[in-house]
Structure 1
Amino acid sequence: MKNNYLLALLSAFILWLAWPPIPYSSILLFVGFVPLLIACERVMRSSLAKKGQKIFTLAFITGFIWNTASIYWVFHAMNAYLPAWISILISLIPFGLAPLLMAAVFRLYYQLRKRNTIFLSFSGLISFWIAYEYLHQLWDLSFPWMTLGNGFANFHQLIQWYDITGVYGGTLWIWLANILIFLLAWQRISKTESLSTKKLVISISATVLIPSVISIIQYTSYEEHINPSEIVVVQPNIDPYGKFGHIPPEDQLLNLITLSEGVAKPNTEFFIWPETAISARGGINEEEFRSYPAYLQITNFLDKYHNGNVLSGIESHRIFSDQATHTVRPYADMFIDSYNASVLIDRSSKLQFYHKSKLVPGVEQMPFGGALSFMKPLFDHFGGTTGGYGSDPEPTVFYSASGIGAAPVICYESIWGDYVAQYVKKGAQFIAIVTNDGWWKNTSGKDQHLQYAKLRAIENRRWVARSANTGISGFINQRGDIVQKTAWWVPASLSQEINLNEELTVYTKLGDVIVYLSIIGSLLSIALLLRPKTK
């Protein structure tokens, strides 16, 4: 059994090495699960007791080490809001929950193997895995950061067909390659040839090479329609750990305007400022924002730019006379709902707000709020709105006076392919990501987040303009190339002429079809598990 544990550790190491941000390492994903599959096969063919439990343990070891090594930086984000002991507990959600679900998938695979052919069992394994990934982006403990298809973000030339399949096409591709390579390796290990070695080699080559070649052809031949718009992204570089109580909101705003003016052109149409860039003591009441000095200062700044708009993150709230939402809190004799939001400001009196929908579990949203409502006083004690931001039920597209549609994607939301696609379906011609990755400090988290934005550009064939408070800010074209980017932890601003796009990709139109097929496959696999044993 000791050797099986070593194989599980080897899988974890390969998967970690393959994960962004290491450039071009993602090809290792094609073999990342092979050692684990060999270890599971050895257990299944052994005389050991409690085989299912042992397979579960092996898969959990692989998942836990791979996840923790890849997203160790999560602790910093939690620690920004909460005491260390609570941060550690909440960090166990992404560190341990996903590996538990992965291990459950392998346990179900083992149950299938006991009563079905290897083909049906592997079909069930793939279906269960994709269904687990989809579940992990839907519920209150969502964290789809480690969806397998995200792993190709560091080698985007190979996955241009994400404009048809989305990231779940990458997950399917990885599993098909791993299973075929495992079959070849197992026949070598067991010195058998149940399947033709030649056919396996051909199948492996075709599985890996055909999608790669198609993608490279797409990449080299793709041409953007010329529809230019001048955009500026700003990186003010305000240390989030020193922001509150140390840097007056007036100084923050002056810094944003100064950086914007440094690279702006007369025809600049959008100035993108980062998450929570606009703030005020006590927060900003959305209904009264026009009366704030900050609003007047921004509109005065925009007077120099005929078609100029500021798309910015904002710390805001609304006052209600009753408990309009489940996240409101008592406020004097009224109720208040706080938001991590974005706003579009132009030279008219019109204001457009969007409230972040995909909230970070345990930090911005109380998971299973109804069942865990008794914990709200604890979260209120440690940060006020922590665990209780209000949100919008669906994406909102911001439209400039000239008719340009922008997707105001806030931070964490940029890892949801289907959610970002909804913006595009509603008319977004480019994607604006406003974020603050400074909570994670100088870790791989900021690099992974930037890389994942490339996937949204490919899926929807939209430029991405990314404004990150401390970095990394930049521009990504419709092929997923990072055209410009800033350095980490420096004040900066960039100007770029991008091409707006109105055409919808297959993925934007149809969404995650592979997920729907996998859910059907999972249900059929469960039916196989539940059918009575034949005598």
Structure 2
Amino acid sequence: MSISRLADGVILAWGWRRRLIALGAGASGALALPPLDLWPLIVFPMTIAVWLIDGALGTSAAARFRAAAAVGWWWGFGFFLAGLWWLGAAFLVEADKFAWAMPLGVIALPAFLAFFPALAFGCARLVWPAGAGRILMLAIMLALSEWLRGHVLTGFPWNVYGMMLAGQPQIAQIASVIGLYGLTLLAIAIGAAPATLGTSESRAGRWRAPVVALIVTAGLIGFGLWRVPVGPTPLVAGVQLRLMQPNLPQDAKFSARNGEAILNQYLALSDRATSPTTPGVQAVTHLIWPESAFPFLLGRTPQALSRIATLLPPNATLITGAARAGEVLPGESRPPIFNAIQVVDDEGTIVSSYDKVHLVPFGEYLPPVLETLIRSLGLSEFVSVPGGFAAGTRRVPLSIRGLPPAAALICYEVIFPSEVAPPGPRAGFMLNLTNDGWFGQTSGPYQHFAQARLRAVEEGLPLVRVANTGISGVVDGYGRVIASLPLGTEGVLDVGLPLAGPVTLYAGLGDAIFAALLAGFLLLSRLLPRH
């Protein structure tokens, strides 16, 4: 079948065939995401999107908007369903409580998220130019909808379309200039460019956009090759990190009655010899444990702190995730509980803490407007904390003896572009503690790690990431993995801390460059020939 006949088939499809094409095209986009990272396949969903909008006909602007938005919803539903199916694993951790609600995460969330591309398709159709300009219009509207998705209702920028290209290390380097949303704009335009092969009337018009897309892609790769230095990664002097990945199942075994056994496992694993020259924790300056490491309040368990002090060699420090109790507020019967990172010195004293600011809706707290309804259905937040976690008030650098100031990030705080660096003087590295054990051996942890890596590229800062079940590792400011522990394994990793790279353009200007790119794309879409 020729490309022109394929395009005509998509444009002229109607009814259930049209919806099925949109669903399948959107779902194919997940193949370009981690763990597969088949990034050239971005061409399929984006090219089909152009042809679907071409076929969104109506006798009025409102009718054309509705037709495009409807098919955009099916396209988005396919993409989010295929990219987020792994969320269902969290409902099976405590299957007796949550299994019945699995469709809410596996189907309802993708159905809601699909309204963002639906809005983009509809708006694009209202100003849909002829010729190659419509490639840029699709990129503008879809990228804007992704920016909205990352900010509306606290935001959920997971699997933003730019991540389809972020798995290619050289292409990902452009994020140091334009960020994830700028990369998204380029990814959509590059992927949609072949649409003109099936719809342009002239031979020159047919090939112009794909050739430009190939040149831009080559330029991005060339920029990446130029940006990344050759040679060993420079390290912070006198720092020896040990990352501990316990690989504990996220089930009923992780409970207060098993607290001592869990602590015993942590202490034994942390002191494991990894080679004849690294006999346990004695050579380590900083020991790091994952998010929510304990089924008890570390700050109120002096026996645990005493045992940690016994483990640590002189002048060594433990950095760990832990629930932290705050002060009881007036009118309240119990203290607020924070999801925190706590720093413990070699005397067993908690010397500094960071409280998670950006909590996970439904996972760590219930949105107030829905709390009564949700609890009436017998549901609660996944993390069993009475009333849910309280949010930290502001993002601040975490002070750790012997290390540069850390940009502390707990769990999915790391997926929010331009929000990872605390205000004030620049941090020396990003510290991400997480627990992806809720999602088992699925694509979710791979996607989470990939997004954390892209933050390192955007900010030019090294990333130290410790996850309960993986993926743990250290990444330099260019997104290169220095060392890592694979998903689903127990172990420790001894590694140095890379020095911070130069301040990136994106770190200084944020999404202002994305806004400028949008304006440039809009202007260019009006100037391109309409044939």
TM-score tier after normalising by the smaller chain length: 0.7 to 0.9
Change in Cα spacing, 1:318 to 1:220, as seen in structure 2 (3 Å) is closer
Give 1:311-460 correspondences, 5 Å limit. Answer: 311-322=319-330, 330-331=332-333, 335-347=334-346, 349=349, 351-367=351-367, 369=368, 371-375=369-373, 377-378=375-376, 382=380, 385=385, 388-422=388-422, 426-460=425-459
The residue number in structure 1 matching 2:123 is 108
Shift of 1:15: 0.8
The residue number in structure 1 matching 2:176 is 163
**Is the 8 Å Cα contact of residues 130 and 515 (structure 1) preserved in structure 2?**
no
Change in Cα spacing, 1:118 to 1:14, as seen in structure 2 (3 Å) is same
CA distance in 1, matches of 2:240, 2:289: 15
The residue number in structure 1 matching 2:145 is 132
CA distance in 2, matches of 1:321, 1:387: 14
**Is the 8 Å Cα contact of residues 267 and 305 (structure 1) preserved in structure 2?**
no
The residue number in structure 1 matching 2:35 is 21
Correspondence for 1:11 among 25, 33, 37: 25
**Is the 8 Å Cα contact of residues 109 and 124 (structure 1) preserved in structure 2?**
yes
What is the one-letter code of the residue matched to 1:466?
A: R
State the SS of the aligned residue for 1:428.
coil
Correspondence for 2:243 among 220, 233, 256: 233
CA distance in 1, matches of 2:130, 2:248: 58
Number of residue pairs matched by the alignment:
498
The residue number in structure 1 matching 2:109 is 94
Shift of 1:432: 2.0
**Is the 8 Å Cα contact of residues 279 and 316 (structure 1) preserved in structure 2?**
no
Correspondence for 2:225 among 190, 198, 216: 216
CA distance in 1, matches of 2:31, 2:387: 33
Structure 1 gap ranges (5+)? 324-329, 529-535
What is the one-letter code of the residue matched to 2:318?
A: V
The residue number in structure 2 matching 1:278 is 294
Change in Cα spacing, 1:162 to 1:119, as seen in structure 2 (3 Å) is same
The residue number in structure 2 matching 1:295 is 305
Shift of 1:438: 1.1
The residue number in structure 2 matching 1:76 is 89
Question: Sequence identity of aligned pairs in percent?
Answer: 23
* Residue deviations 1:161-202 (CA, integer Å, cap 9, x gap): 211121112201112213432223321xxxx12964454343
The residue number in structure 2 matching 1:250 is 260
* Residue deviations 1:488-521 (CA, integer Å, cap 9, x gap): 3332111012223274222222212244447879
Shift of 1:95: 1.3
The residue number in structure 2 matching 1:470 is 469
What is the one-letter code of the residue matched to 2:467?
A: A
CA distance in 1, matches of 2:207, 2:138: 25
Moved more, 466-475 or 381-390: 381-390
CA distance in 1, matches of 2:454, 2:62: 44
CA distance in 2, matches of 1:381, 1:31: 39
* Residue deviations 1:338-358 (CA, integer Å, cap 9, x gap): 222111112364521212122
* Residue deviations 1:318-355 (CA, integer Å, cap 9, x gap): 232315xxxxxx42xxx421222111112364521212
**Is the 8 Å Cα contact of residues 50 and 134 (structure 2) preserved in structure 1?**
no
**Is the 8 Å Cα contact of residues 270 and 310 (structure 1) preserved in structure 2?**
yes
CA distance in 2, matches of 1:481, 1:219: 9
Is the strand fraction higher in 1 or 2? 1
CA distance in 2, matches of 1:469, 1:52: 46
The residue number in structure 2 matching 1:327 is none
CA distance in 2, matches of 1:492, 1:180: 45
Shift of 1:124: 4.9
Change in Cα spacing, 1:485 to 1:499, as seen in structure 2 (3 Å) is closer
State the SS of the aligned residue for 1:242.
coil
CA distance in 2, matches of 1:227, 1:460: 18
The residue number in structure 2 matching 1:200 is 209
What is the one-letter code of the residue matched to 1:235?
A: Q
Instruction: Determine whether 1:64 maps to 2:77.
Output: yes
CA distance in 1, matches of 2:351, 2:295: 16
Change in Cα spacing, 1:50 to 1:485, as seen in structure 2 (3 Å) is same
CA distance in 1, matches of 2:144, 2:210: 29
CA distance in 1, matches of 2:405, 2:452: 18
**Is the 8 Å Cα contact of residues 477 and 501 (structure 2) preserved in structure 1?**
no
TM-score (norm 1): 0.83
